[in-house]
């Protein structure tokens, strides 16, 4: 299964693995799953770090390098992804989460999230 990780899960994988649920750990460690992260997550971290958000303390350069060196594949943001956001009903307002969901749908992936608001979309998303 192709899994796209939301930004909080990426941050927890890299710096606070104890925050991951047992189901998340199981999915992330299964050799049957391919793990992906989005350039949008790195962008979100850069922006929120610049705004002084305490929950976004990771060094985005180091995080990206760590993810790639541990076998996570990076996906870019395309115009197709951006256009897919338009098809999402307004259940959740966070633009980063909406883009991640649009990417997951466009690429045939499952978005892993800890966010109950984005999990409302149900299709192509799993709350762990």
pLDDT, tens digit, 9 for 90 and up, residues 74-88? 999 999 999 999 999
The β-bridge relationship of strands 2-5 and 110-113 is parallel
CA Rg value for the chain: 14
Q: What is the pTM of this model?
A: 0.94
Distance separating alpha carbons of residues 102 and 51, to the nearest angstrom: 25
Expressed in angstroms, the distance from the first to the final Cα of the chain is 15
Largest CA distance in the chain: 38
Find, among 71, 74, 70, 45, the residue nearest to 60 by Cα.
Answer: 45
**Per-residue pLDDT tens for 45-73?**
999 999 998 888 889 999 999 999 999 99
pLDDT averaged over every residue in the chain? 95
Q: Does the pLDDT value for residue 17 go beyond 90? A: yes
């Amino acid at each position: 299964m192709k899994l796209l990780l939301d930004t909080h899960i990426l941050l927890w994988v890299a710096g606070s693995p104890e925050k991951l649920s047992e189901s998340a750990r199981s999915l992330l460690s299964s050799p049957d799953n391919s793990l992906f992260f989005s350039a949008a997550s790195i962008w979100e971290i850069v922006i929120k770090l610049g705004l002084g958000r305490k929950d976004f303390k990771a060094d985005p350069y180091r995080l990206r390098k760590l993810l790639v060196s541990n076998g996570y594949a990076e996906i870019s943001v395309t115009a197709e992804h951006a256009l897919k956001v338009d098809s999402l009903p307004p259940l959740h307002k966070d633009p980063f989460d909406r883009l991640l969901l649009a990417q997951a749908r466009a690429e045939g992936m499952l978005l892993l999230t800890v966010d109950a608001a984005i999990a409302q979309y149900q299709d192509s998303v799993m709350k762990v």
